[in-house]
Every structure is written in structure tokens, then in C-alpha cells.
Chains A and B, each alone.
Chain A
């Protein structure tokens, strides 16, 4: 290792094959209780529909399963191991009490179709979380049904469409800033809208003049992330909302960066008509290696009639119920009621924080990002000098003079014991390094991160090839992604056993 790092050290890593390679007939990790009803003749019951063979399913014992998945787990990096500064992903601490309460028996084993009379607990959780999220966002009504952020976006845009439709014209297009997350344009297309790009100005914000020029009665909505993906608060937000509203358009807010605003500012107060939240970002539900998420959509009064059904209502006797009679609803976006298990976790997080905790959380998140910005300014190029909120975007401009790109810097950061920042996004910054520390990092971890990033910058000057070859300390080196895509091997087969 070139430079010494105070955070990471070497450690034995176990090799482990695929589970199929450990399988052999006769091993088992299961045991069923004796059958308390008569045995059945499966051939007689199923006839030609009876399955004869389960193919290459594994046969292994319980200890092998424990070791297999435990060994695999040690090959992952995780928040529990250290800072995970992925921009716009809000990799914050996932409190363990959230996991505990989501497994309480009556909640974990609740059936979605059990009678409402014995579902009051689940309904109360949905109602309480809804009320908290409405207060946090400053909106009027909410659905928790969408299963993830992108699913929330789709739901939100369907609400926009239904609203315009009710006025006689669904309109044709959605405006999307060039700094937006890829799900925004993909969502607009899925909802049947054309996408029109909106250029950012030199400060990294929506160009209000350009918006005024592009805004007309064909525009159904603007999809805006605020703070945007540069970590910059859209200071002209009120003017943007007014420009849209004057021509009958709606303002959609992508809530991916809500961690910068909770308890400090409310989208409902600055002109947003519809927005989604990511419970797996702002509200601490675990990312779990890529999901599950949960993407509630909050709206202003004018959009309430179109919310997916069912919605939760309070009956005159104080009990809660699902209301299905919603003639203007866009319909369902998911079976049952959404990712309920994530509602439990998000609500546990809100209850653990209270109003003071949430405010301090947001302040610490913004404090951390600005501390990193200060620590790395001058070492890395800062393409936009506009003040940062919860995340900061640098570029590889200085390092690329030595042929080292954002990807290489990211790979070298792994050797220092950190997960990389978000690379090459947002697209408006060439060679972006997008850093979001969240509130969960102590000062010591931030100092180690700054030290690591400075050390890497020094390595680029001294020996760029060493950085280009990184990572050096992982189980495997850089993988051949071209081969993976050209000749896809997407499942194990006995013949490709190693």
C-alpha cells in the first residue's frame, strides 16, 4: 500500500463457492412435522400436472447454509462497517429497534385480507405514519401504496395526468432538468408523456428564463429534485412554482433529497403540488443491498380525489377502515397496501426522533456535507460554488490531467475502507464525485474520509498508475464488465462449474 491509512487493515477473507457446488444428494436442512391428515396420492390428484423433477436445486445442511451466507456477507461493505457517502442515496444508520418492532408477531403475521376489526393495529400504524409525513412535507393527503421511489414517481405522474384529464386535457409533456435522476425521464415515459429537457444555469439551478420560455399549456408538470442533485437548494422555487401554476402546470418534487429539509422547510409551503418520499433514504429503512424501498406520495388537496385506492379513513366510531369507493382514483399501483413492513420501520424512526431529533438530524446532515466540502476544497475541483445543503459535488478535473477519472478515485477509496461516493452523476458535471455523508457520521469518520481523499489526490500526483490499478486490497480486482454483457452468464449450470 502506498499511503498508510488509519481506517482499514487486512483481514482473512474466506473463499466460498456457489451453493450448487456444495450440494450432494441426501443432505438436508429441513424437517417437516408428521402429517396430521391422511397422505395423498399426488399422481391421482395432479395427473399430468405433477412435477417429476426440481432440476438443479441444492441439497445442503443447515451449518453449510449459515457459513455460506455468512461468508458471502463478509465480502460486502455496509453502513454498519463505516461511512457510505453515496450522493442522493442517503445511506444513514438503520436503527435496530426498527427491525425488532417490524417482527412483532401480530404485525409480521398480519394477513392483508384479515377483517378490519382485527386489523386496527396495522391501520393505526398507516394512519400515524401518514399524519407524520403530511406534517413533515406540509402536504394535504398521502398514499403509502408505492413500493419504491421510482414507483412513487410513477404514481405521482399518474395523479398529474388524472388531474389534467379531469380538466379535459391530459397535456403532452413533462419538463425535467438535465441534473435529474434517470428514473424521472423513465417515469414520465412510462406514464405516457414526452420528456423535455430543461437546462440548468451557471449556478447549477433551474434557469428560470429558460423555464418561462419552455412553459406552455402542453406542459403537464415539472419534475424537480430539491435540493437538486448538486446538493443545491433551488432558491427560485417560488417563482418556478408560479410560472408553472400560471399556465395550469403542476410542480412535482422528487423527494430523494428530503434529508436536507426535514423539520427545516416544507415542500408544501414552497409551492409543490405532488411529491414522493423515499422511506429507505430519509426515514432510515434499510437499503438491504438494493431494496425493499417504499415511496409514499403526498399531494395537495386538488390531487386528493385521484389517489390510488384504497385510502385509510376514520369512521364515526373512531375505528379505522379502508375506503374503496373512490370514483376518480387512478386505480391501484400495487396489490394490497404497499410495503407495510417499511411503514413500521419509518414510523419507529420518527418516534425515536421526535420534532427536536428530526431537526437536529437535518442540521447535522448539512453540517457534515459542508465540513467535507471545506476539507476537500482546492484538493478536488468544485464545479459549482453555490452553497451546499446535504451533499456536495466535486469533479475529477484536476486528477484527470494525470489520466485518473472519478471511477479510479472511487476504486482507490475502497482500499481506504470507505464505500465510494456516487460516480459520474449528475450528468451535468463531467467526472462527478457526489458525496452525501448523512448525519450518521461522527467527526472522526469524516476526518478519516477527508484524509483518505487527500491521500488519494497525492497518490495521483506521485503514481497515477497505482490509482488506476485500484482496488488493491479487495478479494477480487476490477471485473470484466464487457465480457459480462457480451456473453451473459446469468445462472449457474452444471457445465460451467469451476
Chain B
């Protein structure tokens, strides 16, 4: 086996040194009735070239060559090539959690820079080293708010990513956290009246997403005011990190739970992604996950260590702030490099391109179909309501190697024939025009069908 660095003679010599006759003697502690006496029934050993071929075939069966208008928590942005060039260095790729700081300073300093940039971008004071993803990060943020406030209820916007809400539901059930859901107004943002009524003095936190699932940017300050009036915290989930280049960050929030996938992480069929938690300094000791901090060595030289570990499971066991151990370090490094490449000016310009593409696409769609939630500013997603079922339109788009917007019926039955469309800087004008053309054809066909029916009725 090509990964195993031993010759038969090495093995013999080692067995002899140990003082056993065969390797089976070393498995004597396993009771004989539980020893597997046959080969595993799995595919045979493959050559590297065969493995590459096998996965290339799977790639061909997986939308290779299609362009897409899908967003909904997973965004297709350009990934500068330096990201993969750097994260594939063995010293990053094959190192462990930096518990031995003297020779893990590379990882530690990178985490420190990551925490700094995330705090800068989210408008928070402190950020951790990463969570699994945006969905689990939001659930951890709610549990954190419960610990901070000593209260138990959470009020959740229905315009939070539906799968984030499902994950929160799973966590909350067993933590005894009652959840209340608040709908969205006709214009798109959270229904503030309904929110006012849902929040009480027993509420630990309000959890919203901005830009929300439909792309609408929420009035964070107004919602923060409602939360704080009742002694509750405001948690803002951000699924599209690129928005932070041009949209005012949720500075009035107490905790930001972000999915940073947009920052240089491949779509990868949903993972691995990179969750982030950011908050105010005063809450840091209730924060889950790892934190890198600056300190000095014995000679006074600047260095970095994992710190405030008394929050964590390996010290506190059942009293820890979370059971999280492994996080998303290497993905956080991708995010880190992406943020460094675009930086202060590039992130704004990138976000502006996203905004322009979306504005153009939404305008074009609006000429033929109904674009919903136009009453508030939005970032790179928008909802298009068609006369025909969007699944039918999408299957025609597939013929042009285009994946249309996400039909929303599955998550929001009341939205009927609506679909969530997304543009990024990689969406081309001709792709938009093709999609708009097919939607226009569909609308025309439905209209003429109706006219025929009316004609017949007359």
C-alpha cells in the first residue's frame, strides 16, 4: 500500500524487537469472536489514476459546465488562485490545532489576523477563530444569549435562512429554549409590529438575518431598540459576507453570527464552510469556540496563543460554553487570504459589482414578471414571482445549461410561484438576458393561454 512506509523486513524487525511472533498477537486484546476474519466488502485498492478518473466522472454528473442563479446561503464568487496556492502548503494543511504555540505561530498569527478582520468588517469588538458554519453559529449565538441574559426565549425572523431555523430548532428543543417566529412585511423586512408583540421581558434574544433570506437589508437599529427595551440581545446572522463591503454592518447588534463562505470558500455542494461569531468585548467570556490572543515570550517577543480556554470543553467538560472542539481552521485561512487580497478598497468595489449586476437583473425581470419585496434596499438576491411554476421554467433553463432561481414553495408555501434569484460578480449580462428571455417567453405563453381561454369563454 503506497501510503505505508514499511518494508516486510521492517515489520519483521519491529515484531522481533517487541517480542511477538506475528502482528495478530498484538490484536489479542480484541476478543476472538469480535475479530473480523474476512476482507471488508468495499471497492478494491485503486491506482491514483483510477481515483482521479472516478472523481472526474462524478464531477461530470454534477452540473459541470452549468452556470447558476442560485444563492440562498451559498454564493458563487471568484476565488483568487493565491488562496489554494497558500492553503495547500503542508505547514498549514497538515498541522494540528495550535496547542503548542512555540511552533504553531503561523496558524496562531493567521487566526489573530482573521479575528481582527472579521471584527472590523462586522462592526463588532471581538471575533472567534471560527464555528462550523452559519447555521450552527447562529444556534450557538442563541445559546450564548441565553447564558448572558439568564432568560430563555428566542424570537426568530421567518426571513432567517429556513435551514438555519431548522438547525436552531434542533438545538433549542433540547436546551429548553422556546422559539417564537416573526414574519416579514409586504415590503420585505421583518414585520416590526409583529416583532414588538412577540418580544417580552422573558426574551433572551431576537435573531434576524441581514441581508435576509430574500436579499432585503434589515433596519438593524430599529430592531436593536426593540430588543434592548426588553433587556434582550440582538443577534444578526449574515449569510452573504460580501454584503459587508457596501452595506453598513450591524453595529447595533450584540452578536453577529456570520457564514463567511462568500470569502473565497468553494461552494463544494454545501461544505465545508466557515461560521464566525463576533460580539462585544463584555460578552467574550460567554463566547464558544477558540480564540487567539497576543502575548509575549520569556524574552519579551510578541507571540500568539490560544486563550480564555476556561470556556472550553477540554478544561470545563460539562460546564463548557459549548462542546465545540475542531473548528474550520483551514477554511478560515481561505477566508483570511480572501479578505487580505481584496482588502479595504477591493471589498467595496467587489460588493458594488454585485449590487450593479443584481440591480440590472431585477430591472430586467421586472419588465416581464413581478419582483417582490421592492420596498427596502437589497443586496445580491431578489424574489421573482412568475405565472408559471418556477420548476417548469427552470427545467427549460437547464436545457441552456443555466440553473434558475430557487423555487421558494418548499420553504414558504404562501409565496406561491416565487423563486429566489441571485447574481454575483460572476453572473454575466448575457446569462441574465437569456434567463430573462425564457421567463418572458413563459409569461407570454401563459398570457396567450389565458386569452385563448377567455376567447373560448366568450
Q: How many Å lie between the Cα of A384 and that of B197 in the bound state?
A: 62
Cβ-based interface call for B215 (8 A): no
Cβ-based interface call for A210 (8 A): no
Scoring B43, B94, B293 by chain A CB atoms within 10 A of each residue's CB, the highest score goes to B94
Cβ-based interface call for A12 (8 A): no
In the complex, what's the smallest C-beta–C-beta distance from A91 to chain B, in angstroms?
A: 6
Cβ-closest chain A residue relative to B67: A109
Q: How many Å lie between the Cα of A8 and that of B55 in the bound state?
A: 39
Tell me whether B62 and A122 are in contact (CB under 8 A): yes
B294 neighbours in A (Cβ, 8 Å): 484, 489-490, 496
Give the contact stretch, choosing among A347-355, A395-403, A457-465: A347-355
Tell me whether A335 and B133 are in contact (CB under 8 A): yes
Tell me the A345-380 residues at the B interface (CB within 8 Å): 348, 350-361, 363-364, 366-368, 370-371, 373-375
Tell me whether A233 and B30 are in contact (CB under 8 A): yes
B403 neighbours in A (Cβ, 8 Å): 111, 114-115, 118
Cβ-closest chain B residue relative to A356: B45
Q: Interface 1/0s, chain B 63-74, versus A by CB < 8 A?
A: 111101010111
Tell me whether A335 and B41 are in contact (CB under 8 A): no
Give the contact stretch, choosing among B79-87, B146-154, B225-233, B450-458: B79-87
Cβ-closest chain B residue relative to A336: B270
In the complex, what's the smallest C-beta–C-beta distance from B363 to chain A, in angstroms?
A: 9
In the complex, what's the smallest C-beta–C-beta distance from A103 to chain B, in angstroms?
A: 7
Cβ-based interface call for A132 (8 A): yes
In the complex, what's the smallest C-beta–C-beta distance from B66 to chain A, in angstroms?
A: 6
Tell me whether A70 and B86 are in contact (CB under 8 A): yes
Known contacts A39-B356, A288-B92, A292-B272; A479/B70 CB under 8 A: no
A182 neighbours in B (Cβ, 8 Å): 312-317, 320, 325
Known contacts A101-B55, A265-B30; A291/B293 CB under 8 A: no
Q: How many Å lie between the Cα of A195 and that of B277 in the bound state?
A: 28
Number of A-B contacts (CB under 8 A): 681
Tell me the A89-109 residues at the B interface (CB within 8 Å): 89, 91, 93-95, 97, 99-109
Known contacts A76-B107, A331-B169, A490-B291; A477/B299 CB under 8 A: yes
Give the contact stretch, choosing among B115-123, B179-187, B200-208, B434-442: B115-123
Cβ-based interface call for B296 (8 A): yes
A104 neighbours in B (Cβ, 8 Å): 55-56, 58-59
Cβ-based interface call for A86 (8 A): yes
In the complex, what's the smallest C-beta–C-beta distance from B451 to chain A, in angstroms?
A: 32
Q: How many Å lie between the Cα of A289 and that of B327 in the bound state?
A: 9
Cβ-closest chain B residue relative to A39: B356
Cβ-closest chain A residue relative to B2: A352
Known contacts A45-B355, A288-B95, A356-B39; A151/B244 CB under 8 A: no
Cβ-closest chain A residue relative to B172: A331
Tell me whether A113 and B130 are in contact (CB under 8 A): no
Q: How many Å lie between the Cα of A149 and that of B323 in the bound state?
A: 10
Tell me the A290-343 residues at the B interface (CB within 8 Å): 290-294, 308, 330-342
Known contacts A51-B348, A76-B104, A484-B294; A265/B36 CB under 8 A: yes
Scoring B72, B102, B106 by chain A CB atoms within 10 A of each residue's CB, the highest score goes to B102
Give the contact stretch, choosing among B338-346, B365-373, B381-389: B338-346
Tell me whether B324 and A148 are in contact (CB under 8 A): yes
A213 neighbours in B (Cβ, 8 Å): none
Cβ-based interface call for B135 (8 A): yes
Tell me whether A287 and B297 are in contact (CB under 8 A): no
Cβ-based interface call for B158 (8 A): no
A-B contact pairs, 13 of them (CB 8 A): A69-B89, A78-B95, A105-B59, A233-B29, A335-B134, A335-B161, A351-B54, A374-B18, A471-B102, A474-B102, A484-B295, A491-B115, A491-B116
